[in-house]
Structure 1
Amino acid sequence: MAGTSGTYSAISSFSRVEILHLIQERPRRTIAELAEATGLHANTVREHLDRLTEGGHIVRETEHRTTRGRPRVLYSAATGEAEASSPIARRKAREAAERGDIMRRVMPWTGSSVNEIGTDATHQLDAIVDHLSESGFDPLVDDKELTIDLTPCPHATAQAGHRATLCSVHLGIMQGVLTEARGPLLIDGMRSSCNPEECVVQLTTR
């Protein structure tokens, strides 16, 4: 999951990965909570949160207070659900589907998945492939087995000590992308393997 271009630049820093991991575990976090949990200065946390918001990975809301005091800003992971849907992530999913439809019109032989899994699921795959490609991967999608092969995993050696956190965060992002694209596909998990460089994500249907 390495790379610094496009979408993935928002989480190219492990500090941002750590912050996003905390937010995925529990939504509606404040800057003060995240600063305390990570040991980072509040201003540094705020900068990281801005990057994650711009990448479509988190959403922010202003706290509704019934007492005196300035309302806090609360941060949640962009899950794609109504209460945590990112307009940036929605736009990216829509644009990916539009590009996919154009490609299938120009090269009809690439559109077999529409007949196999339907238009909505195909658009979800468009969105996830775009996301992964921008993240520095070369994803290999099997629309019959519903798998996405990301082998070799760059974190197997480069970030071996943080691999569990990195994989958890990226699987959460991938699920958010699928949900924003509005279709039947869900992340089922990663296929187990004795090879640490092997990374195959299994999808399932609702």
Structure 2
Amino acid sequence: MNTARDHLRVLEDEGLIVSTPVETGRRGRPPRSYSPVREPQHSSSAERRLQQARERGAALRGLAPELDHTETLGPDAVHQLDALHDHLEDAGMEPEVDEQRLTVGLLPCLYEEMLDSEEPAVCSVHARLVQAQLEQAGGPLELRQLRPFIGRERCELILGRRGEAAPSTHADGVDPTVDDAELGAQAVRAFRSQLTPSPQDEPD
């Protein structure tokens, strides 16, 4: 229970969830109800985090104008990428954002050891957190696919504009309609396929 409370505190501090006391009519500390933060104005932590991402992104583009894709992507999409970058960087995943392809490379993956025991849950939760970041920032971009272990220690997020095909889906048939649970299942299947030797690799 204490471990769960600690994780909930971290999520609330990061502006991903918000808690409210539940009135029971009894003495003592009331229990708390937790719900995801859908709109940043519902959490001062979320508002602060998004503002910091906006300021960091603006400062970076001021120093390196060649990195400014506001004209082609629009300010809302750029802000979404700033917020997602900060979230992934805080998680230690060293994001590499490609604004033209709308992909985000993740180095390294922190959760490989959990996949065997937790199956699609790990990738599904990660996909949902990414989607939540994009929704909180507000804008046209959404998560289309999570590709695990492109190389042994690299994952990739594929983004796209709502109502449009993602730039990187034309060649490889990414399905833009799958939900986060299916994203997790696809991720685990791809991961396991890398661990299974092909017939030509098996010893005679």
- Normalising by structure 2, report the TM-score: 0.66
TM-aligned CA distance change 1:145 to 1:74, over 3 Å: same
Aligned residue in 2 for 1:191: 147
RMSD in angstroms over aligned alpha carbons? 2.7
Q: CA-to-partner distance for each residue in 1:105-154, whole Å, 9 max, x for gaps? A: 2221111x112211111111111111111111121112122111115423
Aligned residue in 2 for 1:97: 54
Q: In structure 1, what residue type is equivalent to 2:161?
A: T
What runs of 5+ residues in structure 2 fail to find an aligned partner? 163-204
Q: CA-to-partner distance for each residue in 1:80-120, whole Å, 9 max, x for gaps? A: 337x9432122111111111112212221111x11221111
Q: 1:125 aligns with which of 75, 81, 91?
A: 81
Q: Are the equivalent residues in 1 in contact too, given 2:105–2:157 (CA < 8 A)?
A: yes
Which aligned pairs between 1:1-206 and structure 2 lie closer than 5 A? 41=1, 43-63=2-22, 68-69=25-26, 72-78=31-37, 80-81=38-39, 85-111=42-68, 113-156=69-112, 158-161=113-116, 162=118, 164-191=120-147, 197-206=153-162
1:177 Cα deviation from its structure 2 partner: 1.6
- Normalising by structure 1, report the TM-score: 0.65
1:197 Cα deviation from its structure 2 partner: 4.2
Q: In structure 2, what residue type is equivalent to 1:145?
A: R
Distance in 2 separating the partners of 1:48 and 1:151: 23
What runs of 5+ residues in structure 1 fail to find an aligned partner? 1-40
Distance in 2 separating the partners of 1:141 and 1:93: 17
Distance in 2 separating the partners of 1:44 and 1:152: 25
Larger Cα Rg: Structure 1 or Structure 2?
2
3-state DSSP of counterpart to 2:15: coil
Distance in 2 separating the partners of 1:192 and 1:49: 26
Distance in 1 separating the partners of 2:150 and 2:81: 27
Distance in 2 separating the partners of 1:47 and 1:137: 22
Distance in 2 separating the partners of 1:205 and 1:192: 21
**Which structure exhibits the higher relative contact order, with contacts defined as CA atoms closer than 8 Å and separated by 6 or more residues?**
1
3-state DSSP of counterpart to 1:154: coil
Equivalent residues, number: 159
1:54 Cα deviation from its structure 2 partner: 1.4
3-state DSSP of counterpart to 2:144: strand
1:55 Cα deviation from its structure 2 partner: 2.4
TM-aligned CA distance change 1:49 to 1:146, over 3 Å: same
